[in-house]
């Protein structure tokens, strides 16, 4: 027995001949209908398989808003390209498209000893890197913990602490009196005024220091260093995404895109300088410049509202920064566990899951996916029990949770892939390597495989390689300082 195929709009429900609701895919029909092309269907995650087929179909229908088909991703890509162009032209856009003023990438001639600071989490790092003929020949690193009082206190106190750490590090290295150039990785949205100057736009993650409005963070750090009579010059200010691109280019000269998939998410790429309108510092003779997209805020102006599900709204409402960082909340490790909790909570309200869990993290989501890959389920069940779902979580319950994790992971990989694919198409190079760093990329068992698949589908004829770039936030800032020194030496009479 068969049913007629009809056209369905957003919010409509498909019903099989047996009266069971079939899943909708963000307002589009299921892949079982002849209206879906083979290309479009390649974006869909595998179906949930349970002995109770009616339950499986209802679960898929309930989670269908999280499932994106090729047509929906094309719409995201078109929106991303429009927002990107508007941002470059300094028109209203949810993409900041910040000029980093970094004019070129490592070329193998980098020489010298450089300091690097990496601020972005509860641990602050000071690094000393020595380069000879472009190769890293020495690397010393020391971590310092940033207390809650410092992260939530005054900006002046925080930056004095950073300078104290630099002084302690140099004293331990026996280099307190040496003259050194420093690259400062400041992993928060900034308005850059030059390669060594920029002001904080907003704190993110667990930081909320007062007194920083309109403050040049590089100048503040420089003042604190000078107060300690350190002969250290802040040569470069950049964020972790730009650092990842630079560190990746040190490993592979084809790198032209940097991506962070960790607690948050962002992208950076090599743009033609003539396309960038924001130049406060003098524009050099370089043909290119690195642009920090700040895609975590993509959609904050409502342009991606067609993607937002009830689960995403729940996560946003409960976040520290509601109605902001829209795109990051689909992708970032800080939020993936929250989306999973919201989705399983929705299933629980419909009687399709034992109870709404609490406290699931992106590490749990990755573990669910790892067990799913191997066909296991007991660790998933134990984690759900510890998260408030009861002691008797069954195998079918665990499989439902694994399916929800799979759908959420698939969407995260798709959305990052859309952006990377659009950048590949924009640059039109013979080959591009994409440097990627972050805990989600490194620890999730499927993300890299999914990204390779989806980028290839969305940017055919644009060869690429995903390159894991370890510690871009540290090494990248030191390499950027070396690049700035090289450019300055070349420009001097």
Task: Give catalytic residues, as residue numbers.
Answer: 205, 240
- CA distances to 248, 327, 478 from 468, in Å: 8, 22, 18
DSSP characters over 398-432: HHHHHHHHHHHHHHHHHHHHHHHHHHHHHH--S-E
Q: Is 213 helix (H, G, I), strand (E, B) or coil?
A: coil
Q: Is 433 helix (H, G, I), strand (E, B) or coil?
A: strand
At 417, list the tokens. 């892939």
Burial class (CB in 10 A: 0-12, 13-18, 19+), 51: exposed
At 86, list the tokens. 């508007």
Query: Which residues lie below 8 Å from residue 121, measured CB to CB, with a gap of 6+?
Result: 187, 205, 206, 263
Burial class (CB in 10 A: 0-12, 13-18, 19+), 29: buried
Which of 432, 433, 435 is closest to 469 using CA atoms? 435
Please give the Cα distance from 88 to 83 (Å, whole number). Answer: 9
Q: Is 200 helix (H, G, I), strand (E, B) or coil?
A: strand
Which of 254, 235, 266, 216 is closest to 106 using CA atoms? 254
Query: Which residues lie below 8 Å from residue 19, measured CB to CB, with a gap of 6+?
Result: none
């Amino acid at each position: 027995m068969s049913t007629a195929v009809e056209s369905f709009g957003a919010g409509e429900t498909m019903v099989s001949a047996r009266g069971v609701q079939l899943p909708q895919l963000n307002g589009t029909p299921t892949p079982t209908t002849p209206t879906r092309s083979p290309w479009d269907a390649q974006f869909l995650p595998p179906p949930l398989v349970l002995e109770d087929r009616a339950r499986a179909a209802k679960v898929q229908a309930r989670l269908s808003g999280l499932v994106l088909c090729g047509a929906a991703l094309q719409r995201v890509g078109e929106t991303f390209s429009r927002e990107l162009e508007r941002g470059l032209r300094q028109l209203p856009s949810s993409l900041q498209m910040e000029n980093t003023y970094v004019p070129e990438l490592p070329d193998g001639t980098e020489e010298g000893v450089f300091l690097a600071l990496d601020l972005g989490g509860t641990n602050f790092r000071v690094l000393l890197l020595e380069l000879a003929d472009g190769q890293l020949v020495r690397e010393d690193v020391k971590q310092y913990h940033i207390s809650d009082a410092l992260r939530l206190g005054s900006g002046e106190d925080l930056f004095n602490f950073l300078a104290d750490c630099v002084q302690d590090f140099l004293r331990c290295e026996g280099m307190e009196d040496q003259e050194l150039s420093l690259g400062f990785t400041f992993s928060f949205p900034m308005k850059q005024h030059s390669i060594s100057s920029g002001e904080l736009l907003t704190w993110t993650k667990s930081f909320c220091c007062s007194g920083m409005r309109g403050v040049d963070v590089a100048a503040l750090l420089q003042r604190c260093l000078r107060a300690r009579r350190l002969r250290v010059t802040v040569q470069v200010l950049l964020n972790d995404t730009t650092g990842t691109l630079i560190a990746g280019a040190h490993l592979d000269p084809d790198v032209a895109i940097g991506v962070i998939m960790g607690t948050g998410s962002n992208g950076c790429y090599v743009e033609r300088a003539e396309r960038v309108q924001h130049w406060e510092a003098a524009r050099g003779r370089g043909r290119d410049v690195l642009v920090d997209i700040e895609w975590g805020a993509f959609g904050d102006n409502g342009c991606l509202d067609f993607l937002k599900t009830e689960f995403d709204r729940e996560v946003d409402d409960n976040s520290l920064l509601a109605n902001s960082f829209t795109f990051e909340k689909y992708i970032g490790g800080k939020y993936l566990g929250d989306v999973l909790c919201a989705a399983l909570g929705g299933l629980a309200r419909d009687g399709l899951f034992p109870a709404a869990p609490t406290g699931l993290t992106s590490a749990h989501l990755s573990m669910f996916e790892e067990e799913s890959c191997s066909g296991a389920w007991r660790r998933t069940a134990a984690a759900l029990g510890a998260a408030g779902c009861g002691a008797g979580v069954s195998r079918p319950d665990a499989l439902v949770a694994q399916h929800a994790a799979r759908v959420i992971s698939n969407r995260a990989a798709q959305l990052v892939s859309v952006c990377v694919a659009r950048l590949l198409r924009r640059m039109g190079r013979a080959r591009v390597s994409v440097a990627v760093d972050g805990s989600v990329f490194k620890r999730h068992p499927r993300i890299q495989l999914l990204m390779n698949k989806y980028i290839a589908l969305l940017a055919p004829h644009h060869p690429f390689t995903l390159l894991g770039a370890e510690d871009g936030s540290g090494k990248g800032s030191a390499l950027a300082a070396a690049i700035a020194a090289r450019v300055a030496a070349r420009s001097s009479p």
